[in-house]
């Protein structure tokens, strides 16, 4: 089954696993909300061509049953899954795929498909994780969460987060973290800490001003939090609809060992994670 649309498609990785089924459901809903085509991708290296075509046809049929009239196309590739998805990401609005989210060092260094795609795709990548025990709802349960900083890399993340919150009819929590003024913490007068906090709040408000005008119906909660940004965002992710974070796109060993926020969320978040690379 192969049909094409003119709009940028939502691309979903299909491999027959439960995670891929969850990614398919997420991708179908995203394509419905965006009114754009859905493109399903499978690599036949492990399954063989016939089994791969059957898997794709079954996934396409599920998508069409869920959203009658949805423009669905399929792609059967014989390369590495990450390479196949990155190839399809070149004209996509979004890539959606599943990941087990193992957090040990050996799994990080193994170069998982989700990590490679998230760090190198030109479009946003949404990773549906295999979650462990249910975590109690967090402060942003039922909302979209976005991590904000004072660099241009967060601009695309903010835009995506607002768009997702608006299309879902939910609120948005914008989180900016800081570590305090760049001075001796033992000697810092209280007013210097307060000034630093006020400066960070001003940065957050500035970052959100344009999107708030564009999406006036979105309920926005601003949070300026002291401490580790990854830990703060993992906490906010409990029960959230989606968490969005920007990335420099450095997917090599050095980037992983630097412990970037996006890498941490891909392995520890309690909800789907959208990674948006800098322009």
Closest among 38, 96, 64 to 242, alpha carbons compared: 96
What are 178's two structure tokens? Answer: 């800081």
What are 179's two structure tokens? Answer: 């570590």
Angstrom distances, CA of residue 192 to CA of 71, 161, 203, 205: 57, 32, 17, 20
CATH code of 144-277, in short, is 3.40.50.12370
CATH code of 10-129, in short, is 3.40.50.620
pTM score of the predicted model: 0.87
Closest among 60, 24, 34, 103 to 267, alpha carbons compared: 103
Note the pLDDT of residue 135.
77
Closest among 178, 269, 167, 263 to 215, alpha carbons compared: 167
Residues 116-127 as b/e (b if ≥16 CB within 10 A, e otherwise) read bbbbbbebbbbb
10-129 and 144-277 have identical folds: yes
Note the pLDDT of residue 252.
42
Mean pLDDT per 10-residue run, the chain (279 residues)? 66 93 96 97 87 96 97 95 95 92 42 84 91 80 93 86 97 87 57 75 92 97 90 94 82 44 88 87
Note the pLDDT of residue 233.
95
**CA dihedral of 34, 243, 220, 164, whole degrees rounded to 10:** 0
Contact (CB, 8 A) for 57 and 1: yes
What are 205's two structure tokens? Answer: 């408000």
What are the sequence ranges of the domains in the chain?
10-129, 144-277
Note the pLDDT of residue 96.
97
Contact (CB, 8 A) for 277 and 246: yes
């Amino acid at each position: 089954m192969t049909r094409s649309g003119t709009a940028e498609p939502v691309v979903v990785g299909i491999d027959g696993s439960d995670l891929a089924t969850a990614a398919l459901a997420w991708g179908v809903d995203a394509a419905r909300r965006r009114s754009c085509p859905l493109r399903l991708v499978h690599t036949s290296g492990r399954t063989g061509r016939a089994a791969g075509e059957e898997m794709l046809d079954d996934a396409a049929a599920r998508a069409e049953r869920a959203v009658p009239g949805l423009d669905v196309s399929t792609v059967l590739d014989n390369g590495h899954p990450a390479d196949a998805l990155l190839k399809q990401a070149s004209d996509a609005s979004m890539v959606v795929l599943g990941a087990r989210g193992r957090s040990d060092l050996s799994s990080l260094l193994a170069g998982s498909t989700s990590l490679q795609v998230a760090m190198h795709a030109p479009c946003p990548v949404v990773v549906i994780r295999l979650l462990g025990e249910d975590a109690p709802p967090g402060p942003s349960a039922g909302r979209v969460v976005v991590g904000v900083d004072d660099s241009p890399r967060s601009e695309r993340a903010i835009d995506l987060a607002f768009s997702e919150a608006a299309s879902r009819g939910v609120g948005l929590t914008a989180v900016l973290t800081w570590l305090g003024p760049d001075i001796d913490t033992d000697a810092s007068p209280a007013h210097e800490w307060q000034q630093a906090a006020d400066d960070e709040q001003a940065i957050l408000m500035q970052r959100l001003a344009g999107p708030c005008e564009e999406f006036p119906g979105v309920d926005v909660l601003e949070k300026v939090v002291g401490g580790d940004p990854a830990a703060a965002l993992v906490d906010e992710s409990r029960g959230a609809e989606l968490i969005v974070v920007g990335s420099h796109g450095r997917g090599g060993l050095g980037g992983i060992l630097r412990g970037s926020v996006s890498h941490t969320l891909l392995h520890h978040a309690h909800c789907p994670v959208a990674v948006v690379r800098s322009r």
